Structure 1
Amino acid sequence: MDVSSSDTLWAATGLGSLARQALEYLVSHPGADEDAVAAGTGVSAAAARTALRSLEVELLAVRIGRQPTRWSAGPPRSSLGALLARKRQELARAELYAEQLDEVYRTAPGRQIASDLFEVVESDEQVGARYAHLLRSSRHEVLHFARPPYVTRRIAPTDTSTAAGATVRPGVRLRSVYDSDGIADDGCLETALRGAPAEGELRLLPGLPMKLVIFDRVAAIMPLRKDDPAAGSLVVHSSTLLEVLTALFESVWERAMPLSLEGRPASHTASERQEAALHSRTRDILRLMSAGMKDDAIARALRLSRRTVQTHISDLGRQLGARTRFQIALLAQERGLFGDTEG
């Protein structure tokens, strides 16, 4: 039998991997003794003995002889069926206990839960812990709006891909839109790019409507007050509101400018490297400008002088025959100067 698939299927029974292997061996080798089971499963005799006794406790195997002791598996359909029935009863009791705990959780002093659809989380510590829990629970996709004001001088829990040590699981897609009006403040652009996982995608857009993180489209977290993120957050479970918030994110995502300041082109000669660097820098300035960032913000984000940024924009305007920033962005897009912007 396939070992990896068997491990997955057997997880619900509560039996360990070695017990599962011993049972599978007994099913096809009736009357085997402990040494045979040990040899057949590739473990020591002591380990095989422990596995067989655990099967005996669960009524999955019985002893059928002595000197040496031989073992026989019970009919899998009935013996495993009885085990699974017991596990279902245990799960039912656990679900009842979870309901009782949830009632205590909801009525605890200082906790505000209006219904199953919403949850109010007030302190920074609680917000960070709730965010980390939702992030670790995500299996498919996390959608993210980040905009000022931030709770502290670093990016707050609802404004980054990590919080309280939590990170996006491998394989989970992270899509983030940062407000270009505030992205250059306090090194946010550099932090956003450095913190993005391999599966992450970043875009910029001025005037984001709100802070927001959506987890697998089954839960979301957002500040209670737009102007004061330290006032607490609202955790949303309402499917109807989640559909609205997801639609809002997708609408903003389509209008936002893809951002990636990595992957500078390689070259060999000094002149080629200089030309490539200039082209790459111009493209970066162009992308940030098209995302609505002002010259000062672009300069801080790319660690350039304001004069250098303005020189690049002026030179590009002359090359394109454009007189306004809007015309520059429009003509640059038409001529493919942004590079690969697919997201």
Structure 2
Amino acid sequence: MTPSGDGKTAPPRRAEVREAVGQALEEAGFYAARGLRPPTRRVDPPKVGAVVARLADATRQELLTFDDPSGCLRQGVPEGMLRHAADCVRRAVTQVPTLRQITSPQGLAQDGALETIQWRNGGQVRLIEQIPVRLAVFDRTTAIIPLDLDVFYNGLLIIRDPAVVKALFRLHHHSWGSGDALPADQGPDLPPAHLVPILVCMRDGLPDRAAAARLGLSARTYARRVSELLSLLGTTSRFRAAITAQRRGWI
């Protein structure tokens, strides 16, 4: 990983990460077949929900995830499954001392109703442009990744090989270092979670069409959320809204 211009660690490239994960799993399978490492267990779609819940409930010290609800929505994951996943995370944040979630601006923008991203309730969250894979690491001893690297609903792998779990932990650690903290870290006066990505786009000076495309929203939805944000800040001026948001520590 190399430093970026602002001193942060540059995020890992998605294609390189996915190739490296595939290679690590192949190596793990080679050694597992010879009894030298714990085997990777495959979980088919009907059992995914129960397995994820069991692993999350058994976690005691640390849960690390790459989450992006927008990717699940695009791939047609049923709402019931998304709500089940959100429930697992909500329970985890009450019992696990450290919950660190990495998501994208698109993921946060579309998570308002689900609350999979627990940035308001004690979880730590950072934003990166695009998550490289879906991932969860439980107490640095067990990890899960989707069979297709994108959606747990389509099936997953349970990994207990220490070498692979350590590599996935490091991936999360480096991505965390390259991510942007949310205003949740700055005080109790906070905007609604679904408006945070709108603030980021306004801060970055993106035109509405480009901002909507970045967040995976329709132009109408983006405009509605801008209006909601302006109303929340008590102004009709985007310039004054930016000043007020900055004074409140939102950006």
Point out the structure with max Rg over C-alpha.
1
- 2:180 alignment counterpart: 257
Match of 1:118 among 40, 45, 55: 40
Asked whether the 8 Å contact 1:257–1:291 carries over to 2, the reply is no
- 1:137 alignment counterpart: 58
Question: Cα–Cα, structure 1 residues 288 and 249, in superposed 2: closer, same or farther, change >3 Å?
Answer: farther
Residue 177 (structure 1) aligned with residue 102 (structure 2): yes
Which residue identity does 1:295 align to in structure 2? A
Rounded to whole Å, the distance in 1 between the matches of 2:143 and 2:165 is 7
Rounded to whole Å, the distance in 1 between the matches of 2:164 and 2:223 is 35
Match of 1:162 among 88, 92, 114: 88
- Of 214-223 and 287-296, deviating more is 287-296
Rounded to whole Å, the distance in 2 between the matches of 1:180 and 1:292 is 15
Question: Cα–Cα, structure 1 residues 203 and 291, in superposed 2: closer, same or farther, change >3 Å?
Answer: farther
Tell me, what secondary structure is at the counterpart of 1:181? helix
Q: How does 1:283-322 map to 2 (within 5 A)?
A: 285-287=198-200, 295-296=211-212, 297=215, 300=222, 303-305=225-227, 312=238, 316=242
Rounded to whole Å, the distance in 2 between the matches of 1:338 and 1:240 is 44
Q: How does 1:269-284 map to 2 (within 5 A)?
A: none
Residue 221 (structure 1) aligned with residue 144 (structure 2): yes
- 2:166 alignment counterpart: 243
Rounded to whole Å, the distance in 2 between the matches of 1:219 and 1:233 is 13
Which residue identity does 2:43 align to in structure 1? V
Which residue identity does 1:312 align to in structure 2? R
Rounded to whole Å, the distance in 2 between the matches of 1:197 and 1:227 is 25
Percent of paired sites with the same residue: 23
Q: How does 1:78-117 map to 2 (within 5 A)?
A: 116-117=38-39
Rounded to whole Å, the distance in 1 between the matches of 2:114 and 2:38 is 35
Question: Cα–Cα, structure 1 residues 246 and 159, in superposed 2: closer, same or farther, change >3 Å?
Answer: farther
**Residues 264-312 of structure 1: per-residue CA shift (max 9 Å, x gap):** 28xxxxxxxxxxx9xxxx9874446569996334865993339959952
Which residue identity does 2:67 align to in structure 1? A
Which residue identity does 1:232 align to in structure 2? G
TM-score by length of 1: 0.45
What's the offset of the Cα at 1:339?
3.2
What's the offset of the Cα at 1:227?
4.8
TM-score by length of 2: 0.59
Tell me, what secondary structure is at the counterpart of 1:120? strand
Asked whether the 8 Å contact 1:283–1:337 carries over to 2, the reply is no
Rounded to whole Å, the distance in 2 between the matches of 1:289 and 1:127 is 38
Residue 234 (structure 1) aligned with residue 150 (structure 2): no
What's the offset of the Cα at 1:207?
1.0
Tell me, what secondary structure is at the counterpart of 2:226? coil
Unaligned runs of 5+ in 1: 1-112, 266-276, 320-331
What's the offset of the Cα at 1:155?
6.4
Rounded to whole Å, the distance in 1 between the matches of 2:162 and 2:50 is 23
Rounded to whole Å, the distance in 2 between the matches of 1:199 and 1:217 is 20
Number of residue pairs the alignment of both structures matches: 194
RMSD over aligned Cα atoms: 4.4
Rounded to whole Å, the distance in 1 between the matches of 2:134 and 2:189 is 31
Rounded to whole Å, the distance in 2 between the matches of 1:256 and 1:146 is 13
Question: Cα–Cα, structure 1 residues 338 and 146, in superposed 2: closer, same or farther, change >3 Å?
Answer: farther
**Residues 229-248 of structure 1: per-residue CA shift (max 9 Å, x gap):** 43200111111111111111
Higher relative contact order (CA 8 A, sep 6+): 2
